[in-house]
Structure 1
């Protein structure tokens, strides 16, 4: 293989891995152009989409297509970021980087036994302590989360099951939640069934698609929004089917948070969420404290925004701004810490998917209750997308300023050494 072909393959692999890790396509294109310039190719032609990458090293040069084959775990995204940093710094050549990337998907899970089940127990319980802090809801989330965990495990083996997973998980857990509510064991079943399925909801997908549309990536943004909306509809159909089967009254479809545990519940929920994400996503231990830091920033600013304005949209705006800016600043000053690995878990706190599921379900079962939730859901999604843009833009300014300062410092040192 010639050096040109090797470089083109490397850039295609890196781009596909970044998209699979959840990075918006316009950011992937910008990062890939930066890597190409560091390798001596200043006129890279690239088009990224959620399903594949097409690129050529220059106008009129041979092009390469690389498909995106499913999402990456957070530890695999961290490895991708490390390879990208090594290529940019010149510490790793294209050949070695290609070899490392080819082994990426075969990287074994750090916790192969019990990581998914224990992690799901922590995640579902933690989200319940934040979304619906009632002891019956917390216990229900811990138990129902194991249903979700088994669907996650087996849907990875059977493609047909993966397609039906959103509907089946929502139907089974909705059936259990509404039945428990009718038996008097559970209050607020619609909100209580969200924590066990929150990890599957397409909130991050919808917000990423909206941010891509805002950045001008029309094809990628539209396709993500369409796919995320279809997934959300499947979840809503599952919940609505369970409610229709059990003849659930409209009073059970209320979307009010009730906290009977105490003000400490979000803190414990945050710690459990961090532990659960680390177990499920095989997060390297060195990154766990940083994931906890960004989650803490997200929750703190989200609560601050809601208390200042009294509306979820401002909390979502401040939370997403803090998450994106905080993760980006950490990466700027500590390049070995990948921004996406620290940032992506914050979507499980911002819960745009949960609000979307509630609004669509209410619209199908009790339209009179859906108006406020639909407006709230739309405002939260837009606020999160705006927060991502603000945080990323502010971090970019800081990064450019810091790079210029470092460049000036190096020039001064070079002059003194003469």
Structure 2
């Protein structure tokens, strides 16, 4: 249960652990036979946000307009003051006994509605922010060289992905095809033999800046909320294509995101200071005196019902604010609906690695499953889920839900 006291409010009546009044994540949902609209979760129910706001005499006209659409798009564009007004109004209503009867008329069972992609993705950037992951990959692919490239601790490395291949949790993933390296040096074309996951956290952007350059101190004006991400990866296709311009077909076939967007305002208790910097940083990335933008999120990777890894987000070297500052420092514009992801999250221990590339050490140390089978990379029919939770106020927990997908044979 949550820290909410017994007062007859829907927070008290409906809240469950992880989905209490402390969280209130957003989604785009459609009741049976109806159009999609913006919803907020309390326990195992979804509250119709436009209906709740329109019945609230204290809601501003700007707020009413921001929640009128089928998803988060208008709210993202409305900016931080409106985000904060909406959360304040929803928290007050959901925690009020007097409002309970009216709100209950607009509650829907979460299992009885259709959830869809919660926002329209404008642009997508994927980063490489975990030192443990980057070091593991370096040791696997460049065993005779330094694990980290010389630039890694000077800037958050990233690449521009394809927004059109971001899909909602629950979408099946066909095995991608492409050119695969072979021992004789002549590539073959066919389905990926080394299909992988990447357990990540994603950041949803609002309040665009057409001329770019978002400073660390202004990150909170633009980072609206967080989701869980599985940035599926075809390691063999990627290995052959990535020199000299980086990932392309090996990464662009699908990126799955969770259906609930946890607002940044729900994560104050989860903020942590990032690891100590071991190289001097350029001024625009220097966060030594800045608000901490690390998050103590515990991830769990589940393969066909078995937990195989628990990556800790708290140890990420580069923070969301630094990623955003770097993404825009060259003047690149920022739009509402832009989205960026952390890159694979891996901890220091083997059971904290966020990809099968690392868990199996590129196939040299296959993962032993509870069934007795061994595996290195994903097989057709496998289902992978990534779950996440974080500390909330007063000893509560914040639940991110799950991002899941099942591997289908190549088309």
TM over 0.5: no
Choose 1 or 2 for highest CA Rg.
1
Compute the TM-score of the two structures, normalised by the length of structure 1. Answer: 0.28
Structure with the higher strand share, 1 or 2: 2
Q: Which has the higher helix share?
A: 1
Structure with more relative contact order (C-alpha pairs < 8 Å, separation 6 or more) = 2
